[in-house]
Amino acid sequence: MTMRKRLNKQPPASGGAPEWMTTYGDMVTLLLCFFILLYSYSVIDVQKFQQILSSIQMTFLGREGILDQTPDPNPDVTPVEPDPENNIDVTYQAVREYLRQQGLEDIISARLEDRGVILEIRDSILFDSGKADIKAEAADVLRKVAGIIRSVPNQIIVEGHTDNVPINTPQYPSNWELSVDRAVRVVRFLIERHHIAPKRFLATGYGEYHPVADNETAAGRARNRRVNIVISDVNLLDGEAGTDE
């Protein structure tokens, strides 16, 4: 009898889930939090993209609605607010989208570098050969560039570049002087004609020493003669960067 009772006796049941289940549950919870965080960042980026693109569209072409060509009901353009994180990637995507919408990709090319968004304009659009006077037909191009600049709070760097063909005139003894003067003329045009705050700009000339193509061919030299407008990754957080004077 005693032996039968011992054989029928069951071990006491342990309470709670196995230890591995607790670890697994913690891991799943952390993964869920991680993906929620990623989703929230993606939503913020889309919203900022739309904000920047909308602001650019309103400031182009005399602050008219761009997609439907109807007057903007709010003539006072609200610039993009300075972002301490300075999401230059979003600005780049918004600028590219606008250039695509307006068919400007053959006139103004955009690329993203570590220092910011680079808008590249060939010199033949802006200047006659060997000169720094801005051509009348370039006014519309620079008006659109001014719209981009007013829509963001970033510091703007204007760079002049030439090919390696020597120049030696009383006004321009070398390509250095020509490239610097071209950059300064573009800056002055944006300040005087479009009333953008002068303190936002830096103007610099690189002469022939930063080519993007081979100077041995006419096509390469044409690519090297350019003006770059850099929307730098430096945000001006004084509250005045995105406004007119």
Instruction: List pLDDT tens digits, range 129-180.
Output: 999 999 999 999 999 999 999 989 999 999 999 999 999 999 999 999 999 9
Confidence at residue 168, expressed as pLDDT on a 0 to 100 scale: 95
User: Is pLDDT at 2 greater than 90 in this prediction?
Assistant: no
Output 22 or 242, whichever has higher pLDDT: 22
User: Is pLDDT at 89 greater than 50 in this prediction?
Assistant: yes
Q: Which fold has domain 41-235?
A: 60s Ribosomal Protein L30; Chain: A; (3.30.1330)
User: Is pLDDT at 77 greater than 90 in this prediction?
Assistant: no
User: Is pLDDT at 67 greater than 60 in this prediction?
Assistant: no
Lowest-pLDDT range, 39-48, 100-109, 206-215? 39-48
Confidence of residue 29 (pLDDT cuts 50, 70, 90): confident
Mean pLDDT confidence for 191-214: 97
pTM > 0.75 = no
Query: What whole-number distance in Å separates Cα of residue 231 and Cα of residue 245?
Result: 19
- Residue pair 148/117 in contact (Cβ under 8 Å)? The answer is no
Mean pLDDT confidence for 26-43: 68
User: Is pLDDT at 55 greater than 90 in this prediction?
Assistant: no
Confidence at residue 16, expressed as pLDDT on a 0 to 100 scale: 61
